Structure 1
């Protein structure tokens, strides 16, 4: 194994900033979800794509791909959300091994109730802090990084 190519000052500043933003912004937004709607960040993460899906239903494996989670994490989270009445698991008509996840009325009510405050918090803590020029750079830059990460099917 070769010698490590350490980050220079500029690179380290960018990396530390990214880590700090990921950790602190996630914590701030998750705290707001719990306070406003009693939802965890994980619940919100799954409710968003389900609320945007036709008929509020997605195949479990597709839901996992959309949020970047492993099958077991999706399964455990869906089980917790079923117990709270936010989603329902159904058989997949095309594949007996697969399952479908359906947003329930309670799940839709929860996401509709919390989404406006969540978007406002994203604007307050992230979008509103950046200039238009910074948004024009950071969006494509983060997409490029995301596209090159292992496990990206897109």
Structure 2
């Protein structure tokens, strides 16, 4: 095996995990993605490592324990695919039953965007409802406004 870095066993550190996560785009990762990021960071190369190779280099039990500790302290956020989708996270590559990690800053951004989108959809639905109610209650005024608009805009 020698000193070839491809044959080293790696014990991930807290900084390895957080640095690797910060470099991911989108910042949403499985445990295998985290292992890939750690291996790439430790080897300081741009070489693409597949998940199986990365998991062979990483001491898996140590990595899983470290990631669980990072989740417990709030340095990483863990949710399932559907939970992330509800919070506005990027939906590509999210499997229904998969567990995904993100940095708290990204999770807050996604949740804010999801809330903004939900509020915009609610506002649109409310306006559509109001139009329907007004057309029902004041049909002459509604028809007059529609006619005036069409006349002004070339119809």
Normalising by structure 2, report the TM-score. Answer: 0.36
Normalising by structure 1, report the TM-score. Answer: 0.36
Which protein is richer in helix relative to its size? Answer: 1
Structure possessing the higher radius of gyration over alpha carbons:
2
